[in-house]
Structure formats: C-alpha cells, structure tokens
Amino acid sequence: MKKMSAIVLFFCFNALLIFFEVHKQGQYLKISYEIQKLQTKICSITKEQNDLIYSLHTLQQPDNIQTIAQEKLAMKPIELKKVTLLPSGDIQTIQDTQEIKPEL
C-alpha cells in the first residue's frame, strides 16, 4: 500500500512540475512578444524623431526662414534709410522720439 501511494505521489508531483514548466514557457512567450512589440515601437519613434530633427534643421536654414517670412507672413525686407537709432538716454527721451511708425 505504501508503495502505491508513493508512486501516485510521484506521478502527481511530476504532473505538477510539467504544469509549471508549461506555464513558465507560456509566460516566456508572452513576455518575448511584448518585448518585440516595444522594440518595434522604439524603432518607429526613433525614425519619427530623426525625421523631425531633419525637418527642424531644414526649417532653420536662413533661406527657408526668409521665404516663410516673405510668403506666409507677408514681411518685407527693411530699407536701411528707415532705420533710426534711438538715444541711449532716459525713457522720456525715447518716448519723445517717435520717428518709427509701422507701415500697414
């Protein structure tokens, strides 16, 4: 009788170990899939970041800034004869000198 209960106990223990091994493999596959998804997401975000950096550097070029200012913002190049130097005196002197008037 003792021998029979030992064999049953041995088989139950082995079945339990097999269950845990299958469970461990399932968890491993699930985590591996999640890692793969996150790595794909990192790659796409890195590519998007590089594209945005390229766009930023392109837009920071002086020629592009001038084109955008003239076409989209309707700005005009300033003529040097319209530039007036303000005295470096007090505020009252600066307020008295109202020679610069915006052109609409």
**pLDDT tens column, 52-61:** 999 999 888 8
The amino acid at 82: K
Q: How many domains does the chain have?
A: 1
Does residue 84 belong to any structural domain of this protein? no
In which residue ranges of the chain is pLDDT below 70?
A: 1, 88-104
Say if 13 falls within a structural domain: yes
Residue 99 CB partners (closer than 8 Å, separation 6+): 84
CA distances from 104 to 70, 71, 75, 76, 78 (A): 15, 16, 11, 11, 14
Tokens of 61: 């070029």
What is the pLDDT at residue 26? 95
Q: Which letter does DSSP use for residue 82 in this model?
A: G
Please give the residue range of the domain that contains residue 43.
2-76
Q: What is the pLDDT of residue 103?
A: 54
pLDDT at 16 (0 to 100): 93
pTM over 0.85: no
Amino acid at 65: I
